[in-house]
Structure 1
Amino acid sequence: MANKTWRKVVVPALCAGILAVTGLVGAATASPSQLPVTLTLPGPTGPHPVGTADLHLVDHSRVDPWAAPPGRPRELMVSLWYPARPAPHRPTRHLTPGVAAFYDQSSGPAGLDPGVADFAGTRTHARPRAAAAPGDRPVVLYSPGGGQSRAFGTTLVEDLASRGFVVVTVDHTFAGPVEFPDRVELPARGVDMALMMRERARDTSFVLDRLREITAGANPDAARRPLPIGVGAALDLSRVGMFGHSMGGFTTAETMLTDQRIDAGANLDGSMDPHYGQASTRGTDRPFLLVGGGTSGADKHPHNHRHAPDWASFWANSSGWKRDLYLPAAEHASFTDAQVLLPQVDRKHALPAEKLVAAIGTVHPGRSLAAQRGYLAAFFGLHLRGQQTNLFDGDSPAHPDVRLIP
């Protein structure tokens, strides 16, 4: 990291999402004799091997509101995850070295002891820049929560790719830690959240524009690093979905207001505060899936459209296909990779029970992940592929932790 520049090291309070998780990890103190916990991501369940490639994109039509020095164009890092041909390469890292170092060194609400978890050593199941498998694929965009890296949705993203989707994960610069080829940018101080939501929606549309260039044979990567063989032919931009966690779910709904290319969207436990966007007051006319867990708000009400005012408004104003799934025993970080990573740390370091429950609830981690993977695949399969399913007709015995909220 000696050749990298670090910027904006202060994390805003509204971006507590994943830092609350890393703060929880830090609540357990490792003795000098203890080695960092080796973290393992569950393998994807679909029939396809998975490839991945990072792209550095520059939007010269926009000035970044938070960049220093002022006047710099908006820059993004995104990753493509896609069905791939078998490849011998070692799977790619879960987090880039700079982002891993950030999570290791940052201080969450409980304080973080560096070295407790081996963030830098965790691997995905995807091969870097492997050739794409033949066939055109629906495209699904992923937007992370505030304070989070795009990598913290990998357990869901890899699974969708293994089932035949191309998934594009987007880091919204200055909303979370982002490693560029020459520097690491961290969350900005004093962000105007309404402006952030508008920029995140614009980021998403910009990424869709660049994907269109790839299908036409162009390479939008700033350094013109070679694209994986066949990835352009794999992108079917006539079938586009989007989902996200927390602020990323809000971003999904907001982007659907301004970009008709997104055919279906899903919000994983994200507030849709009308002070920061219009989704709750305008709704959507396209298919949308709400997925909530545990409680939210000052009065700790169940996070579903029957109790959360912003979700209730969005539900009432949405005229398209819609479903609301509720996991009572889950909590906010259950819809990130923390659902399966934190229990691994807890087994070695005995994390404080109340903090562990506040982060990921009491839901069984394996069942929670299986349910999220199953419902997302069924949702995008239905609306992007026309694959019929009865999974949304009522509560499913296959997923006993999930309630369908009418």
Structure 2
Amino acid sequence: MVEGVFRNIVYGASTALSITVMNAQADSVRLLEPRGTYAVGTVTYEWQDFSRPAEYSAYPEDRRTVVAQFWYPANPAPDDQQASYNPISEDYRKVSTNSFLRSGFHTSVENANLILFAPGRGTERFLYTTLAEDLASHGFVVVSVDMPSIGYVIFGDGLIVKPDSGFRPPPGMMGGPYEKVDQFFELPTAMGTADLDLVYEKLIDLNRSDPDQRFTGRLGLDTVGIFGHSLGGRIAGRFTTDHDFVKAYAAMEGIPPRDIRYGGKIGIPTLMICSKGTLPYAIENYKSYLDNSPVSTYFAVLDDFGHNSVTDNPFIYPDRFNYPIDPEEGLQISRKLLTAYFLGQLKGRGDLQEDLKDIEQLNISTHGKN
């Protein structure tokens, strides 16, 4: 765990800009409506860790700060405001969400399972809103974390922290050998894992005594899930290994560090996701995890998907992505897959392969020991 003194700043809307310059979008874009029974609330915090310096700041007294956005089962009041997707960025100002800003927690939901999201390198927390809203509508509390220097972060006071160019893999590296890939990502993996440690400590504080009384006594912190995308999948794998309260781990084209893969250090059924196009380049890396897993592990291969099909970006800006899958269909499949996995692993509901057998683009197999 991270030790130190923490400072809270809460604000009610997403504040990060996209690192990518986008084409003009349609007049309006509305995200897919969640499929669950609960309305969805959202609130965003800034959390500062006084035990770590802000390596992205020239001022030596600045401390590392993360931004954490929540989506949760809510009981919105009639005058609650619809949450903006991102009110500051011109790129996303016309996108409508299905969440209500700072709504009260739904009174019928107790001990709600927590799911942490670790975004990909250069990616903002809110780009997973479709996935997060769907999970929240099924009774989960989702927390997606902006990690400075790893992702693209804008804080509430307007400070912009761009991804560290030193964390961008050089051309050809991702094709192997994977010893070099593992070594290259050691530093951002350690940074991101410490960020998630900070977030979990703050969740404990909120569950114990939320000043706004929204989350007090509502969070189930002993049975936690985590999803990581790309580099976030590597960070999520390290965090899972370090904490036995993590009972579900899913990753899209992200793989745990080398010692975890070859050592079989994750003893829970996990979900590894890969697009069919990426698989030929990544199969040996996945095999190092799947073949050494001490328990059964799901391996999902998605036809026609791209690396970012699990994010909202292709849905919002379809002309910017040339993936074969229709962006809406990609999101529909992504959220069905993740929600089914977390419902099964954290709540004991359904059978993953049986529930998703009719999705033509999805091939799920199991590996490892039973």
Size of the alignment, in residue pairs? 328
Aligned to 2:352: 391
- Give the partner amino acid of 2:262: T
Quote the Cα distance in structure 2 between the aligned partners of 1:91 and 1:279: 42
Runs of at least 5 residues in structure 2 that lack an aligned partner in the other structure:
1-17, 168-183
Return the offset for 1:96. Answer: 4.4
Look up the equivalent residue of 2:92 and give its one-letter code: F
| 1:362 CA displacement | 1.0
What whole-Å deviation, never above 9, does each CA across 1:339-395 have from its counterpart, x for those lacking one? 42223xx3xxxx6xxxx32xxx212333322222122112111121122x2332596
Is 1:261 matched with 2:245? yes
Instruction: Output the CA distance in 2 between the equivalents of 1:157 and 1:199.
Output: 23
What code does the residue aligned with 1:286 have? I
Alignment of 1:177-196 (within 5 A): 177-182=152-157, 183-191=159-167, 193-196=185-188
Structure 1 residue aligned with 2:126: 151
Deviation at 1:203, TM superposition (A): 0.8
Contact 2:344-2:352 at 8 Å conserved across structures: no
Structure 2 counterpart SS, 1:320: coil
Q: CA deviation at 1:71?
A: 4.6
Do structure 1's residue 43 and structure 2's residue 33 form an aligned pair?
yes
Alignment of 1:405 with 2:368, yes or no, is no
Whether contact under 8 Å (1:39, 1:119) holds in the other structure is no
Question: How far apart are residue 272 of structure 1 and its match?
Answer: 4.7
Relative to structure 1, the CA distance from residue 366 to residue 189 in structure 2 (aligned partners, 3 Å threshold; closer, same or farther) is closer
Q: CA RMSD in A?
A: 2.3
Please give the per-residue CA displacement for 1:71-100, whole angstroms capped at 9, x wherever unaligned. Answer: 522111101110000233232111241xx2
Given that 1:205 and 1:259 are in contact with CA atoms closer than 8 Å, whether structure 2 keeps it comes out as no
Counterpart of 1:251 in structure 2 is 235
| Whole-angstrom CA distance in 1 between matches of 2:306 and 2:312 | 13
- Deviation digits for residues 12-47 of structure 1, max 9, x if unmatched? xxxxxx75xx45x44xxx6xxxx8643321111111
Paired residue type of 1:400: E
For the 8 Å contact 1:171–1:178, the answer to whether it is kept is yes
Alignment CA distance shift 1:238-1:394 (3 Å): closer
Secondary structure of the structure 2 residue equivalent to 1:270: coil
Conserved 8 A contact 1:244-1:266: yes
Deviation at 1:217, TM superposition (A): 0.6
The whole-number CA distance in structure 2 between the counterparts of 1:255 and 1:382 is: 21
**Secondary structure, counterpart of 1:170 in structure 2:** strand
Pick aligned residue for 1:292 from 274, 287, 293:
274
Say whether the 8 Å CA contact 1:330–1:363 is kept in structure 2: yes
SS in 2 for 1:233: coil
Match for 1:337 among 301, 309, 312? 312
CA 1:288/1:152 → structure 2, altered by over 3 Å: closer, same or farther? same
* 8 Å CA contact 2:113, 2:223 repeated in 1: yes
Alpha-carbon separation, structure 1, partners of 2:70 and 2:363 = 32
- Per-residue deviation, residues 155-212 of structure 1 (Å, max 9, x unmatched): 1001100111011111111212222121222223424732111010111111111101
Partner of 1:108: none
Secondary structure of 2:72's partner? strand
Q: 1:202 to 1:302 in 2, by over 3 A?
A: same
**Whose strand proportion is higher, 1 or 2?**
2
Q: Which residue of 1 aligns with 2:254?
A: 270
Cα drift, residue 294 of structure 1: 3.2
Change (3 A) 1:218 1:42: closer
* CA distance in structure 2 between the aligned counterparts of 1:342 and 1:279, rounded to whole angstroms: 36
3-state SS, counterpart of residue 202 of structure 2: helix
Mapping of residues 291-310 of structure 1, within 5 Å: 291-296=273-278, 301-302=279-280, 308-310=283-285
Structure 1 CA distance, aligned partners of 2:97 and 2:34?
10
Q: What secondary structure does 1:382 align onto?
A: helix
Alignment equivalent of 1:199, drawn from 191, 198, 210: 191
Classify 1:141/1:86 alpha carbon distance in 2 versus 1 (closer, same or farther; 3 Å).
Answer: same
The match for 1:93 is 84
The structure 1 residue matched to 2:49, chosen from 54, 59, 65, is: 59
The residue that corresponds to 2:105 in the other structure is 132
Task: State whether structure 2 residue 294 is matched by structure 1 residue 319.
Answer: yes
- The answer to whether the aligner puts 1:167 opposite 2:161 as a matched pair is no
What is the TM-score of this pair, normalised by structure 1? 0.75
